[in-house]
Structure 1
Amino acid sequence: MSKAQNNQLVSISPISSLSKFLKFCYFILGFLLLACGNDKSDKTTVDAESTTDIEQTATTKTETKTILCFGDSITAGYGLDDSNDAFPAVVQQKIDSLALNYTVINSGLSGETTAGGKSRISWILNQPIDVFILELGANDGLRGVPLTETRANLQGIIDAVKTKSPETKIILAGMQLPPNMGRDYTTEFKQIFIDLAEKNELEFIPFILKDVGGIAELNQKDGIHPTVEGHKILANTVWEVLEPLIK
């Protein structure tokens, strides 16, 4: 081989090696880009799945409906050691056993009158309510409040609920008084609830203390407020009217 040919080979070899090296670099770069692309795609998929889970959770929370018990010491569970023994909590247990998507809120206040209920109803209605159980009037009757005032206050509460939330279903819990309040007064008092239920086309519980009122062993020492067993019976009485509305 001539010296010229040898020089030609020597001058060509570095270029050939460089070409191969560049091809190798391009291959590595392409591989890395492809790998990053797959990783990004996988991350996008995971993010999409996470977003879907969050949306489903939010939807579930939104779909949870509310039953609000608006009342006095009977609703509040006065005298009980555990508020979970009051009838609203017992109703919640029935709902949970059927896997119904409802939450029961106890908005009972001991000593509450219809006037007191009317004054706080606007604040209560700042939350969405699907079923509104109205249990007020007993303290009015025991204090001898004029019946026209009791009737007007209850109607005011009903009107407030209907105005704020027309879709809310209202259950009116009737109340009766002991005979020592006078026959005329007790008879007209009982009629208030009947009239309001009919006038406003409400679901109606004729007597919230049915099978409990006046029965010593189902009431506390004061003879007015139900015991734990008494509240279980109250819950059944409420459930008879509530169940068809939520199932």
Structure 2
Amino acid sequence: MSDMLKFCYLSLCILFLSCDGVESKKNDTKQTLIPAIEEQEDISTQKTILFFGNSLTAGMGLEVEDAFPALIQRRLDSLSLNYKVINAGLSGETTASGKNRLSWVLKQKVDIFVLELGANDGLRGIPLDETRKNLQEIIDAVRRYNPKVKIVLTGMQIPPNMGQDYTGEFKLIFPQLAEKNNIDLVPFLLKDVAGIPDLNQADGIHPTVEGQKILADNIWEILKSLV
């Protein structure tokens, strides 16, 4: 009889421990699933800012993490804002070539589209009407893909190599397009950087690491009200 009681007691202990192990596994599974679910929700609510531009956006001559789109990403992260920044800058890009690759870039959903093109047009003396037309077509195409997208246009100025008339009219393209399309404008992307040797690389055109920080500040002045 004593042996029988011991056997029953042992069986109960094993049963209890087995149930406890199952329950622990259930709890562990729940704890594993909770952060996974939260991560999925975080991704689903994340918004996208796409910087579409030329070598200024691409950060030519620098590491990509030193270009202003990456600096904007770090600022957004520091403010716990759930945004993903995409650097779609391509060195040498004109408004015409940008227009041609736009459909590929817009295969993903974009909430804020920052358009930084035109500088290479000006430096090459491309007819102003063509630059204006291409920028307008890019704006129209972005809105067709997503009517709710917020668009930011970055203003640009060029040296007077092409003559005062060309230079002056080129500068006006950006504020005029911004007003016409009711979009936000960074008045001059290279404000406080252009023409300052210490803030530009040896070519005198592309910003240094410190120069890129100022570009990020110039853009953030407009972008902060949209995020």
TM-score range, shorter chain: 0.7 to 0.9
Counterpart selection for 1:161 from 126, 132, 142 = 142
Deviations 1:182-202 (A, max 9, x none): 111111111111111011111
1 or 2, which has the higher helix percentage?
Answer: 1
Could you say what secondary structure the match of 2:226 adopts?
Answer: helix
* Structure 1 residue 227: Cα displacement: 1.3
Deviation, 1:125, is 0.7
Aligned residue runs from structure 1 range 61-140, under 5 A: 61-80=43-62, 82-140=63-121
Bigger mean CA offset, 237-246 vs 42-51: 42-51
Q: Alpha-carbon deviations, 1:9-34, whole Å to 9, x = none?
A: xxxxxxxxxxxxxxxx9999999888
Question: Which residue matches 1:12?
Answer: none
1:245 partner SS: coil
Matches of residues 14-53 of structure 1 in structure 2 within 5 Å?
Answer: 43-53=25-35
What is the distance in 1 between the residues matched to 2:88 and 2:68?
12
Structure 1 position 64, deviation (Å): 2.3
Aligned-residue Cα RMSD (Å) equals 2.5
Q: Assess, with a 3 A threshold, how the Cα gap between structure 1 residues 40 and 214 changes in structure 2: closer, same or farther.
A: same
Paired position in structure 2 for 1:142: 123
* Count of aligned pairs: 227
Structure 2 unaligned blocks of 5 or more:
1-6
Q: Which moved more, 1:83-92 or 1:190-199?
A: 83-92
Q: Which moved more, 1:230-239 or 1:215-224?
A: 215-224
Q: Aligned residue for 1:230?
A: 211
- The answer for unaligned runs of 5 or more in structure 1 is 1-24
Q: CA-to-partner distance for each residue in 1:53-87, whole Å, 9 max, x for gaps?
A: 3221111122222211110011111122x222111
Kindly provide the CA deviation profile for residues 219-239 of structure 1, in whole angstroms up to 9, marking residues without a partner as x.
Answer: 122211111111111111011
Query: 38, 55, 62: which is aligned to 2:37?
Result: 55
Which residue type is aligned with residue 66 of structure 1? T
Q: Which moved more, 1:39-48 or 1:207-216?
A: 39-48
- With the length of structure 1 as denominator, give the TM-score of the two structures: 0.81
> 1:213 is matched with which residue?
194
Match of 2:4 in 1: none
Matches of 1:52 and 1:97, distance apart in 2: 24
Q: Partner letter of residue 49 of structure 2?
A: I
Aligned-pair distance for 1:35? 7.5
Cα separation, 2, equivalents of 1:37 and 1:93: 48
> For each residue in 1:30-55, what CA deviation from the matched residue of structure 2 results, as whole angstroms up to 9, or x when unmatched?
99888767765665554444433322
C-alpha displacement of 1:176: 0.8
Do residues 194 (structure 1) and 175 (structure 2) align? yes
Per the normalisation by structure 2, the TM-score is: 0.87
Q: Percent identity of the aligned residues?
A: 56
Report the CA distance between 1:111 and its aligned residue: 0.2
Distance 2:37 2:151 in 1: 31
Aligned counterpart, 1:7: none
Larger Rg: 1
Residues 232 and 34 of structure 1: CA distance in aligned 2, closer, same or farther (over 3 Å): closer
The CA distance in 1 between the partners of 2:17 and 2:65, in whole Å, is: 58
- Residue 56 of structure 1 aligns to which amino acid in structure 2? E
